[in-house]
Chain A
Amino acid sequence: MLFNSVDFAVFLPLVFLAYWFVTQHNLKAQNILLLLASYLFYGWWDWRFLSLILFSTIIDYTIGLHLHKTNRSQKRKLLLWLSLLINLGFLGFFKYYNFFLDNLIEAFTFFGTPLQARSLSIILPVGISFYTFQTLSYTIDIYRRKMEPTHNFIAFAAFVSFFPQLVAGPIERAQNLLPQFFKPRKFNYTCAVDGLRQILWGLVKKVIVADSCARYANIIFDNSDDLTGSSLVLGAVFFAFQIYGDFSGYSDIAIGTARLFGFNLMKNFAFPYFSRDIAEFWRRWHISLSTWFRDYLYIPLGGSRGNTAMQVRNVFIIFVVSGFWHGANWTFIVWGGINALYFLPILLSGKNRRHLDDVASGKIYASFREISSIGFTFILTLLAWIFFRAENISHAWNYIQGIFSQSLFQVPNFDGFIPSKAVLGIVAIFVIVEWFGRTGVYAIEKLGLKWHPMVRLGFYYLLSLAVLLFSGQKQEFIYFQF
């Protein structure tokens, strides 16, 4: 079920009403309802994959209990490895099997020993990368004795499958989300209104910004061989805003929806395109994944401690693994590698924590220096996004070569250049709103709070109407495929 679909527009109010009225604020009944709703939400795509999520839930619930019971280090390690093996085994099979097989065949063929093996037609279960990491955080935290396991299977299953963030995050830590299933939840008017506001902004990002940009990004990337450098630059810009609007929009809808049910999810994006360097960008982009890798991979590897070689190795590992997490394609691996290359000089010069505050904090406008830094960082991310979006490495390489050609200074020549100017206008307005709202959790969190209530209502009305007017473009959320 897509957040921007009629199905969800019917599903959400029904679950909301049942949750607050039918369950009579009974915690157990609320959790059962959330679990059933979440399974319905997930099964809407393909009910067969429910067995997968249920199996993962049972495994991690059971392993969690056994981890807590035993103090024997060997057995605890064995249990942890079992959980890792099963969870990552599923992920590896569904997501990476064909990739490894194809590369193995190519490698053998390259060395003159053709290998006979057939790829399988595997359907990737929606959101498997997200809920796998979420359940892993539970087992690992119990192993590290950072939390105790739950004995309440319903609450645990609801935590694993919690529908607002099940298929595209934020990837919640068990330590943050699971305890919320045990706290009595009462309806809070302010929280619900705030949740709706965040859902509205998420829909604006997804339906108006991302889907409009997607149309032109697709045209340009699909015909990149025949287009001028200026068109290719526009294609990269459209894609940059498509992926940001798409993914951060989804996160906003997820967080807002969770608030309607009395849950607080972690922030996933913090206006990343206003970052002044790549280190800041990675503190602001897909925060739940970055921090997951930081806590469960980077720090155990030694983090930024140790000698330079160790630091370089760790940075490359975390960025390449992060790239590979996104998909079984060399383009994602290269995308991760490029970001590692961007990040390393900043880390090695000790400047990676230079920009911990918001840009132009306390001011309306940024300084020239800040604008230059933001612009430079944005250009770096644009170049990396080309690999992320391209079909393969040679496509990305040709695309970049096409940009740095004489045609960079010619008029864009892609089909739809004239109507695409309207989308650039939408992007410009969006950037302005995000700029003025950059100190909030989401851009319109505080915008208009001091306005007359009718003016504010009019503003929300116009935004809602705009979402309806753009609602038919219906591009799937990009991150569903991860």
Chain B
Amino acid sequence: MNRFLLKIALFCCLLLIGFGSLFFLADGYTDPFYLKFTSPRQENMLLGTSRAAHGLQPRVLNNCLEREFFNYSFSLLHSPFGPVYYESIKRKVDTTARDGCFIVAVDPWSISSENDDPDDPSGFRETTGFLASVKDVTSSPNLEYLIKSLKGEYYRLVPMPRDLQLQHLHKDGWLEVKLPPDTTSFNRRSLYRAKRYLKNKMPLNRVSATRLVYLEKIVAFLKQHGKVYLVRLPVHPEMAKVEQIYMPDFKDKIKNVVTLSDGYFDMHNLNHKFLYTDGNHLHRDSGAKVSALVGKFILERSKGMALK
């Protein structure tokens, strides 16, 4: 019996050591968000949902605007505008900065809610997500994030051959999806996604006054630390049609926030010019072009402002 217990104890200790050491291997291939929680506080940030996480590329904007941008966008599930995202942004912004630049991607879904009462923040889906529970957003390695976000799916910690990985989160927070530009399959997926949004998502969603208030709060807070620009990123034309049906007065809905900001760039008239992996998300090549256009817009706006 003693031999049995001794062997078991030794085996369990070795197992826990091996298991624990895997946490130190976490990187940009572990999950789509980990590195967003390991960088220090940031002066220039790209904010929004997954459309921004995929579509806004810091390295392109860095070249245009000669700043160091960091993409702190997540997904519609985690970072629609609301108290959770607001608090997390406050933890991530370098509060000593006064000359930062912030690009906030907006769309109808990120100011909507699927709750019975869309204005009740206690029922927002993101309140149970990792963005709400992880308080430390600047440590490396970030054990709090790994434990809370992986929810036991620790196999993601095991390093896999990088060529096999479809997603790569860069150190600057950009989430790269490594798909070759395949127009046929992208279009098929985009049409399917747009159909599902129309059939399943649209009937559940309603505009949330609370989310609009928090969008304003976020912009007001960021204004204390620099310039804030709003951008409506392009989507697949079919998806744009769905959004037009869902919220034809989107521009009116956000007009107060637009007034508060330093500029609003609506790219929906350029929807047909880009490639989308699934209707919502820009392909990386298109994302680079869109980021360059956003950079150009900001440059022109800041020049115009300087002239004024």
Contacts and interface: CB of A to CB of B under 8 A. Distances in A.
Nearest to A472: B152
Nearest to B154: A469
A472 B150 contact: yes
Nearest to B7: A193
Contacts of A465: 15, 18-19
A29 to B, nearest CB: 17
Nearest to B5: A17
A187 B5 CA distance: 12
B4 A472 contact: no
A84 to B, nearest CB: 43
A187 B22 CA distance: 36
Contacts of A461: 11, 14-15, 18
A163 to B, nearest CB: 20
B192 interface: yes
Contacts of B18: 461, 465
A328 B11 CA distance: 44
Contacts of A189: 1, 3-4
A468 interface: yes
A468 B19 contact: yes
A203 to B, nearest CB: 13
B34 to A, nearest CB: 16
A224 to B, nearest CB: 14
A474 B192 contact: no
Nearest to A468: B19
Interface string B192-212: 100110000000000000000
B151 A472 contact: yes
B154 A468 contact: yes
A470 interface: yes
Interface residues on A, range: 20 to 34
Contact of B154 (A457, A464, A471): A471
A447 to B, nearest CB: 18
Interface string A460-482: 11001110111111100000000
A20 interface: yes
A150 interface: no
B166 interface: yes
A418 B177 CA distance: 13
B153 interface: yes
Interface string B1-44: 10110001001001100110010000000000000000000000
B157 interface: yes
Interface string A159-196: 00000000000000000000000000001010011001
A357 to B, nearest CB: 36
A468 B3 CA distance: 24
Interface of A: 20, 187, 189, 192-193, 196, 226, 411, 413, 418-419, 457, 460-461, 464-466, 468-474
Interface of B: 1, 3-4, 8, 11, 14-15, 18-19, 22, 150-155, 157-158, 166, 185, 188-189, 192, 195-196
9 contacts: A20-B1, A192-B4, A226-B196, A460-B11, A465-B15, A465-B19, A469-B19, A469-B155, A473-B152
Given A196-B8, A468-B19, 12 more contacts: A192-B4, A226-B196, A411-B185, A457-B11, A461-B11, A466-B155, A469-B154, A469-B155, A470-B153, A471-B152, A472-B154, A473-B153
